[in-house]
Amino acid sequence: MSSKRLDPLKETFIKIIREGLANKSFDEGEFEAAKNAGFYKFIDFNIF
Protein backbone atom coordinates (compact mmCIF):
# COMPACT_ATOMS: atom_id res chain seq x y z
CA MET A 1 0.00 0.00 0.00
CA SER A 2 1.56 3.28 -1.04
CA SER A 3 1.41 6.26 1.27
CA LYS A 4 -0.63 9.17 0.04
CA ARG A 5 0.78 12.65 0.00
CA LEU A 6 -1.35 15.12 1.93
CA ASP A 7 -2.93 17.89 -0.06
CA PRO A 8 -1.22 21.29 0.27
CA LEU A 9 -3.94 22.85 2.44
CA LYS A 10 -3.85 19.98 4.92
CA GLU A 11 -0.04 20.15 5.02
CA THR A 12 -0.26 23.88 5.72
CA PHE A 13 -2.69 23.38 8.62
CA ILE A 14 -0.46 20.71 10.12
CA LYS A 15 2.62 22.94 9.78
CA ILE A 16 0.85 25.88 11.44
CA ILE A 17 -0.34 23.73 14.34
CA ARG A 18 3.10 22.12 14.82
CA GLU A 19 4.91 25.46 14.75
CA GLY A 20 2.32 27.07 17.01
CA LEU A 21 2.71 24.32 19.61
CA ALA A 22 6.51 24.46 19.36
CA ASN A 23 6.78 28.22 19.87
CA LYS A 24 3.88 28.40 22.34
CA SER A 25 1.82 30.78 20.18
CA PHE A 26 -0.82 28.05 19.96
CA ASP A 27 -1.62 27.06 23.55
CA GLU A 28 -3.12 23.80 24.79
CA GLY A 29 -6.61 25.34 25.09
CA GLU A 30 -6.54 26.41 21.45
CA PHE A 31 -5.15 23.00 20.50
CA GLU A 32 -8.01 21.21 22.30
CA ALA A 33 -10.58 23.55 20.70
CA ALA A 34 -9.15 22.90 17.23
CA LYS A 35 -9.05 19.17 17.93
CA ASN A 36 -12.75 19.15 18.80
CA ALA A 37 -13.87 21.50 16.02
CA GLY A 38 -15.59 19.94 13.05
CA PHE A 39 -13.66 22.28 10.76
CA TYR A 40 -10.45 20.31 11.35
CA LYS A 41 -11.97 16.82 11.15
CA PHE A 42 -9.64 15.95 8.25
CA ILE A 43 -6.55 16.28 10.48
CA ASP A 44 -5.40 13.36 12.61
CA PHE A 45 -4.45 15.12 15.84
CA ASN A 46 -2.71 11.98 17.10
CA ILE A 47 0.31 12.96 14.98
CA PHE A 48 1.13 15.86 17.30
In the predicted model, what is the mean pLDDT of the chain? Answer: 82
Confidence class for position 19, pLDDT limits 50, 70, 90: very high
pTM score of the predicted model:
0.64
Alpha helices in 1-48 (DSSP H): 8-22, 28-36
Alpha-carbon distances, residue 43 vs 11, 17, 19, 29 (angstroms): 9, 10, 15, 17
pLDDT of 6 > 80? The answer is no
Q: How far apart are the first and last CA of the chain?
A: 23
Confidence class for position 2, pLDDT limits 50, 70, 90: very low
